[in-house]
Amino acid sequence: MEVTHSPIPGGVVLHLAGRLDQVSAPVVEPQVMAALPENGVLVLDLARLRYCSSAGLRVLLVAVKQAAANRTRFGLAAVQPAVAEMLESTGVDKVVPSFPSAREAAVALG
């Protein structure tokens, strides 16, 4: 699992690549939590995320909860079909806004 950062006005985009599963989730979660700005924007770019397990889903839900507490505008970008299917089947797609690209997410949430 690879996590890289790109600054955007008022926040950051985290680019997740690989598999977000029981092995990588404990490493990724603290990185996502550390990136959550107070009153800012956090976009998780999932263009290169191939797989997300229930452990990965937990990371997303913890981020949603903490984003609300921080008053952070939070969204997902470029969700790939396999991950989108999991988000839809669990109803997470109704809770977290999703955008076609990180750029579009940054503009909409900024």
Q: Which residue segment(s) compose the domain that 94 sits in?
A: 2-109
Q: How far apart are CA 100 and CA 62, in angstroms?
A: 23
Kindly state the tokens that stand for 104: 């579009």
What does the pLDDT read at residue 108? 96
pLDDT interval class at 110 (50, 70, 90): confident
What does the pLDDT read at residue 65? 95
Q: Into how many domains does the chain fold?
A: 1
pLDDT interval class at 74 (50, 70, 90): very high
Q: Which CATH number does the domain housing residue 93 bear?
A: 3.30.750.24
Rg (CA), the chain: 12
What does the pLDDT read at residue 59? 97
> Residue holding tokens 């950062």?
5
The 3-class secondary structure across the chain, one letter per residue, is CEEEEEEECCEEEEEEEEEECCCCHHHHHHHHHHHCCCCCEEEEEEEEEEEECHHHHHHHHHHHHHHHHHCCEEEEECCCHHHHHHHHHHCHHHCCCEECCHHHHHHHHC
pTM score, whole prediction: 0.94
